[in-house]
Amino acid sequence: MAERVAVAMSGGVDSSVAAALLLEQGCEVVGLTMQMWPREAEEEIPPGLRGCCGLEAVDSAKRVARTLGIRHYVINLREPFERLVIDPFCDEYLNGRTPNPCIRCNTFVKFGPLLRRAREIDAEKLATGHYARVGYEEGSGRWALRRGVDTGKDQSYSLYGLTQDQLARALFPLGEMRKAETRAQATRLGLSTAERPDSQEICFVSGSGYREYLRKRRPEVTRPGAIVDREGRQVGRHRGIAFYTIGQREGLRVAQGEPLYVVGIDVAGNRLIVGGAGEVRSRGLVVGEVNYVAVAALPEGGSKLRAKIRSGGRLAGCVARVEDGGVKLEFARAQRAISPGQAAVCYQGEAVALGGIIESAL
């Protein structure tokens, strides 16, 4: 009997090809599409700019499922998406931090309630169109998450939060492919998504940007306050701390003898702290909410790894050590704009060793 696999079909080219490839491999494929945007997001984002999981994406996924001749179900996950992704996204900005909602969506929604739905229909695995690789390592007795072959599209960073149980149920059919190959396969298969553009980075935020989204969801973010230097001297006024992130220069509207950047956010005092370019760099950071992936723990003396501190960032050499319940990363070279709320993901070779949420720069 063919293995039953559920595919999270977002209506884009990647998940469409993932479903088609599994079908060609002899799997019994069932398409699941999450409907999770709040209704106001559906109305605000113009047609053609809507990414995954909205009504337009649902229609696109249905067309692909018909082409492939597979069963397809739409799963209403608006409530968990609101509670587990959107609310924390807004709260983090109010707390002076810079969140990554895609990570929370992957960990707590796709491989949370969607995976549970897949299990309810007796699917052995949940496949997605992510560019990453997963496999069981006999030596360590652990499931490993490795970077995708297409390093320009690699999405292992945004999947670091998956637990061993989740990885055991995960399939990433595009992990060994490059994006150009994916589109070529979609054309070969006659899929309507072959030329569909990639979804925007934050799928539920309209073209007007996250600042306008926050204004509507959390009106209190517009409370202005002081911009101060390291000595506490006021040098300007800000429009609300949620509109700024560490390392930002644009929008400060502060005239000084040198370019100034956000180097700190004082939430209690509703203040931005600014400094020169050199003050934006740091040789270390502390992460919390740590998830161990390829390794079960760090050795007592620490481990030499490579880390990314933002989705589009480069890998940088570091030493990772356990400290006060979290993990401290010390970099060989100072890193720019380490932002609390973002994820720091450490790699051992091509495999994700561990990851966590940045609590502070050192």
Active site amino acids: 105, 203
Contact 311, 99 (CB under 8 A): no
DSSP reduced 3-state for 69: coil
The edge-to-edge listing of strands for the beta sheet with 170-171 is 71-76, 28-35, 4-8, 125-127, 170-171
Q: Which amino acid is present at 201?
A: E
Helix/strand/coil (H/E/C) assignment for every residue in 119-170: HHCCCCEEECCCCEEEEEECCCCEEEEEECCCCCCCCCHHHCCCCHHHHHCE
Q: Which of 161, 163, 170 is nearest to 8 (CA)?
A: 170
Q: CA–CA distance from 131 to each of 7, 41, 55, 109, 304 (Å)?
A: 14, 27, 24, 18, 25
The Cα angle at residue 136 between residues 131 and 138, in degrees rounded to 5: 150
HSE (side-chain half, CA atoms, 13 Å) at 134: 27
Integer Cα distance of 206 and 293 in angstroms: 34
DSSP reduced 3-state for 221: helix
Contact 252, 236 (CB under 8 A): yes
Contact 108, 79 (CB under 8 A): no
Q: Which residues pair with 135 in a beta bridge?
A: 144
Integer Cα distance of 246 and 244 in angstroms: 7
Quote the tokens at residue 133. 């690789």
Q: Which residues pair with 5 in a beta bridge?
A: 29, 125
Integer Cα distance of 32 and 18 in angstroms: 13
DSSP reduced 3-state for 73: strand
First to last CA, the chain: 55
